[in-house]
């Protein structure tokens, strides 16, 4: 059965919203199958399902971020939800300081507050009017750094792109999390043979937004070449030393914590609790999506 005929599949895995121009492009690209037999196509070194590739191309053509906007980047299942929670809390802490009970993370999923570019805003050939969004706006993406930069710098009158924060999660945990997600997605418990097929595909780099190492290295090198605009964070280091890592992030975003804030106030909020920097190793965030988005 074709992906477009699978009603339970998320839209980004399907092939039913692709322009003729993109179909022509796809016909010329290297292709392979994921472990479930769905087609992936390699565009500029990364693997995409057809609908995802269409959305990525639309982002590259139409996305015009403002200089103060922020892009969060990660691989699927690589710490995206947590990164969104932290950055949103850091950036907006002053706004909710007097009335913390009104903080959006008490009632909304992080994915509702920090939308995905290619999986939500530009999915289905949409072209959102970003001028209607508050500034600074936080966006999220799973795109390779080179692909993202082609979108963020194409129309800028300045050489300075907006800030990019990348989180890297270890390959083993990223893969295992992806495996559990695919089990949930297909609504059946997949067998050992399916696990081995997915493991083999992951090792070969044939997975959405893969290969893993090329994706991670693009942001690592980017952070070394342009530390003013690209911050590389490790998921495991955030857990190990949350105070230091959140301080790094706040300084990078030009909103550093004051000494008084660090000593007296909770600085990060998750869905139903606030945490001081010392308690940040308890990542209390929702696992479920709301709305059309279904890839973390």
Angstrom distances, CA of residue 143 to CA of 74, 116, 209, 295: 8, 10, 7, 13
Does the active-site annotation cover 180? no
38 half-sphere exposure, CB direction, 13 A CA radius:
24
Collapsed DSSP state (helix, strand, coil) of residue 163: strand
138: which strand partners? 70
Residue 123 per-residue DSSP state: G
Q: Of the candidates 179, 182, 173, which has an alpha carbon nearest to the alpha carbon of residue 74?
A: 173
Q: Can you tell me the distance from the alpha carbon of 73 to that of 77, in angstroms, rounded to the nearest whole number?
A: 11
Q: Can you tell me the distance from the alpha carbon of 204 to that of 5, in angstroms, rounded to the nearest whole number?
A: 27
Q: Can you tell me the distance from the alpha carbon of 6 to that of 253, in angstroms, rounded to the nearest whole number?
A: 42
Marked catalytic residue, from 142, 144, 207, 215: 142
Assess contact for 150 and 62: CB atoms under 8 A: no
| Bridging pattern class, strands 46-48 and 31-33 | unpaired
Alpha-carbon dihedral of residues 201, 202, 206, 209, nearest 10 degrees? Answer: 150
Angstrom distances, CA of residue 57 to CA of 52, 113, 118, 151: 9, 24, 9, 9
Q: Can you tell me the distance from the alpha carbon of 34 to that of 197, in angstroms, rounded to the nearest whole number?
A: 8
Residue 142 per-residue DSSP state: -
Assess contact for 85 and 105: CB atoms under 8 A: yes
Instruction: State the catalytic residues.
Output: 142
């Amino acid at each position: 059965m074709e992906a477009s005929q699978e009603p339970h599949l998320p839209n980004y895995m399907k092939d039913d919203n692709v322009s003729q121009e993109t179909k022509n492009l796809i016909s010329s690209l290297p292709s392979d199958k994921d472990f479930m037999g769905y087609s992936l196509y390699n565009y500029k070194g990364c693997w995409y399902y057809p609908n995802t590739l269409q959305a990525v191309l639309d982002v590259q053509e139409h996305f015009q971020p403002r200089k103060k906007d922020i892009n969060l980047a990660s691989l699927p299942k690589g710490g995206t939800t947590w990164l969104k929670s932290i950055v949103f809390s850091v950036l907006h802490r002053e706004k909710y300081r007097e009335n913390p009970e009104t903080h959006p993370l008490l009632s909304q999923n992080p994915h509702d507050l920090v939308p995905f570019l290619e999986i939500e805003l530009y999915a289905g050939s949409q072209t959102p009017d970003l001028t209607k969004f508050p500034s600074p706006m936080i966006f999220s993406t799973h795109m390779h750094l080179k692909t993202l930069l082609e979108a963020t710098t194409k129309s800028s009158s300045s050489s300075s792109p907006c800030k990019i924060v990348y989180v890297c999660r270890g390959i083993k945990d990223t893969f295992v999390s992806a495996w559990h997600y695919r089990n949930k997605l297909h609504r059946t418990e997949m067998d050992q043979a399916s696990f081995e097929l997915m493991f083999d595909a992951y090792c070969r780099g044939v997975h959405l937004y893969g290969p893993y190492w090329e994706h991670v290295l693009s942001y690592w090198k980017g952070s070394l070449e342009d530390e003013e605009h690209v911050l590389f964070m490790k998921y495991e280091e955030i857990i190990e030393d949350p105070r230091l890592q959140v301080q790094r992030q706040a300084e990078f975003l030009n909103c550093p914590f004051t000494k008084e804030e660090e000593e007296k106030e909770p600085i990060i909020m998750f869905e139903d609790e606030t945490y001081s920097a010392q308690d940040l190793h308890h990542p209390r965030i929702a696992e479920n999506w709301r709305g059309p988005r279904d890839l973390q």
